[in-house]
Amino acid sequence: MGQSVSSGTFFLMVSELSFILSNYIIHIGLAWYLGPEAYGIFGVLTSLYLINRSFLNTGLPRAVSKFLSEFPDKAGSILRTSSRIQWIITLIFALFYLGFAPTLAWILHDESLTYYIMFLGLMVIPLGLLSLYTSGFLNGLHLFREQAYVKTAYPLFRLLFTFVLVIAGWALWGALVGYFLGIILALLWSMFLLRKTNKERPTAAFPWKKIISFALPVTIGSLAFTLLRNMNVLFLKAILGDNYLVGLYTAAYTLSTATYMIFLSLPLTLTPAISRALAKKDLEKVRRYGRESVRYLLLLLLPITAFIAATAPELLNLFYSPAYQSAGEVLILLTVSSAFLSVFATLGALVTGGGHPQKEMYWTILLTAALAGLNMLLIPRYGMIGSAWASLIAAFLALLLVGKFVYTRYGITWPWSSLLRIGATAALIFIFAFFWHYSGLALIINFMVLGVVYLTLLYLFGEFGRREVNLIRGIFHR
């Protein structure tokens, strides 16, 4: 049934790349076209949208994928039971948004948000069904190629409709309707692909409690982590009520997530590897996986972070208009925060792969509460800089929690010698980038030159050699 997992991984990587690139194009294009104030409102709506997407795209679809893989003979009943559950969940979500839209707008100090929020409620229904079909049904039936087709086409549909409608004069409504039309087309295509490939009739009803018991902790953990990454925009809007500042913050946040998005696939790859090693009681392999994963992560993460930190105003000016350049300090803090969260997510894969998914869920809930408290404490006094500091502190606490656990549980230590050499080399890159200021195309050329310098220094230090080159070749060969 379906394609192999290795080929599926390749297809899904391509679809994720399509999603990431289209997301950046939409954000940067709207920031230019709408201006900071209207773009700030878009940032608030995007944060609510991402929270919805996280809730609907994780627990139930993953549970469905898991049980379809384990019980392919019960595919028909699993599809029927999960569809009913998702319909109930999405209808409850939609009714909540429709009923409490005025209250949410009041909390955010902007009554003009009411109808936007109500429309987000309507979007919840097709969005939830799309998640169930792509990440649940198609993935669980190992129809990876079909899943990748839909997940690649959806952001392209969204990109096309968004800019056509915005340029036609629909402004923020154009962006929301563009998202909605993209979801509808992708959903219809995924339904067609499923009916075309899956001819099984439903058997006895699959136990809905079994699906819910698996989906619930995964959903809560994912939702808490999404709040950890997206709640600051909402707090800024609710406390300050300044769309202009929210627009600046959203621009900085969008660029800062590059480091996290680039390494998003590493935890997904690491989790099953850790599970297999622990099943064989091979703790040494677990420790090696942990040390090597962190080393490779830092190898790429530190120079990117150093370069962004050294050239934050210039980067903002490159991708956005000069009006956003004052968010440079926010971009630096959020980039470091994103780096911490990347390491947290990677080490968290060790925890999940080791059979402790509840640990990561509890941590993210605790850290989300801490971030909320820090925002309420720092934003009134320091504005958007305070919110950025709140993210940095919460991300650092996350790193301490997961680091302590993997050291205590598995004896995994930081690769200190590699960290020292990589850190020293990245510090040199930071100094070069900080004192050699460029703008526009010259900034990109400077980044490429400094990248070559960085790899050369690592080669001289013995941190980059044939093994790393072969690894990169293997990735591109696949």
| Inside any domain, residue 126 | yes
| Inside any domain, residue 163 | yes
How far apart, in whole angstroms, are the C-alpha atoms of residue 89 and residue 91? Answer: 6
The predicted pLDDT at position 418 comes to 78
| Inside any domain, residue 8 | yes
Average pLDDT over residues 126-130: 90
How far apart, in whole angstroms, are the C-alpha atoms of residue 375 and residue 172? Answer: 27
Q: What is the mean pLDDT of the chain?
A: 82
How far apart, in whole angstroms, are the C-alpha atoms of residue 414 and residue 398? Answer: 16
| Inside any domain, residue 86 | yes
Domain count, the chain: 1
The predicted pLDDT at position 391 comes to 94
Task: Please state, as a whole number, how many other Cβ atoms lie within 10 Å of the Cβ of residue 78.
Answer: 30
Average pLDDT over residues 197-201: 57
Residue 392: which pLDDT band, with cuts at 50, 70 and 90? very high
Query: Could you tell me the residue range of the domain that residue 81 belongs to?
Result: 1-206
How far apart, in whole angstroms, are the C-alpha atoms of residue 67 and residue 74? Answer: 9
The predicted pLDDT at position 477 comes to 44
Q: Identify the residue with better confidence: 262 or 430.
A: 430
The predicted pLDDT at position 6 comes to 42
Average pLDDT over residues 243-267: 80
Ramachandran class of 281: left when φ > 0, alpha when ψ lies in -120 to 50, beta otherwise: left
pLDDT reading at 2 higher than 70 = no
Residue pointed to by tokens 């409608």: 165
Contact yes or no for 313/443 (Cβ under 8 A): no
Tens digits of residue pLDDT in 216-243? 776 777 777 778 778 999 999 999 989 9
The predicted pLDDT at position 330 comes to 94
Angle between helix axes 75-107 and 59-70 (nearest 10 degrees) is 170
Of the candidates 283, 234, 229, the one whose C-alpha atom is nearest the C-alpha of residue 260 is: 229
| Inside any domain, residue 287 | no
Give the lowest-confidence range in 29-38, 227-236, 276-285: 276-285
How far apart, in whole angstroms, are the C-alpha atoms of residue 131 and residue 133? Answer: 6
pLDDT reading at 111 higher than 50 = yes
Give the lowest-confidence range in 2-11, 70-79, 223-232, 267-276: 2-11
- Answer positive or negative: Cα dihedral of 415, 416, 417, 419: positive
Average pLDDT over residues 303-331: 89
pLDDT reading at 468 higher than 50 = yes
How far apart, in whole angstroms, are the C-alpha atoms of residue 20 and residue 263? Answer: 12
Q: Identify the residue with better confidence: 15 or 67.
A: 67
State how far Cα 148 lies from the chain centre.
Answer: 17
Which residues, in sequence order, are CB contacts of 241 under 8 Å at separation 6+? 108, 109, 110
State how far Cα 59 lies from the chain centre.
Answer: 15
The whole-model pTM stands at 0.82
pLDDT reading at 4 higher than 50 = no
| Inside any domain, residue 113 | yes
Of the candidates 3, 6, 13, 59, the one whose C-alpha atom is nearest the C-alpha of residue 266 is: 13
Residue 281's φ and ψ, nearest 5 degrees, are 55, 35
Count CA within 13 A, CB hemisphere, residue 60.
26
How far apart, in whole angstroms, are the C-alpha atoms of residue 123 and residue 184? Answer: 9
For residue 176, the one-letter residue type is L
C-alpha angle 226/49/190, rounded to 5°? Answer: 100
Of the candidates 375, 296, 308, 304, the one whose C-alpha atom is nearest the C-alpha of residue 343 is: 296
| Inside any domain, residue 97 | yes
Highest mean pLDDT among 83-87, 95-99, 210-214: 95-99
Average pLDDT over residues 413-431: 83
- Tokens (6 digits) for 53: 């997407």
DSSP collapsed to 3 states, the chain? CCCCHHHHHHHHHHHHHHHHHHHHHHHHHHHHHHHHHHHHHHHHHHHHHHHHHHHHHCHHHHHHHHHHHHCHHHHHHHHHHHHHHHHHHHHHHHHHHHHHHHHHHHHCCCHHHHHHHHHHHHHHHHHHHHHHHHHHHHHHCCCHHHHHHHHHHHHHHHHHHHHHHHHHHHHHHHHHHHHHHHHHHHHHHHHHHHHHHCCCCCCCCCCHHHHHHHHHHHHHHHHHHHHHHHHHHHHHHHHHCCHHHHHHHHHHHHHHCHHHHHCCHHHHHHHHHHHHHHHCCCHHHHHHHHHHHHHHHHHHHHHHHHHHHHCHHHHHHHHCCHHHHHHHHHHHHHHHHHHHHHHHHHHHHHHHHCCCHHHHHHHHHHHHHHHHHHHHHHHHHHCHHHHHHHHHHHHHHHHHHHHHHHHHHHCCCCCHHHHHHHHHHHHHHHHHHHHCCCCCHHHHHHHHHHHHHHHHHHHHHCCCCHHHHHHHHHHHHC
- Radius of gyration for the chain, computed over Cα atoms and rounded to the nearest angstrom: 23
| Inside any domain, residue 124 | yes
Tens digits of residue pLDDT in 139-169? 777 777 788 888 888 999 999 999 999 999 9
Residue 121's φ and ψ, nearest 5 degrees, are -65, -40
Average pLDDT over residues 404-431: 82
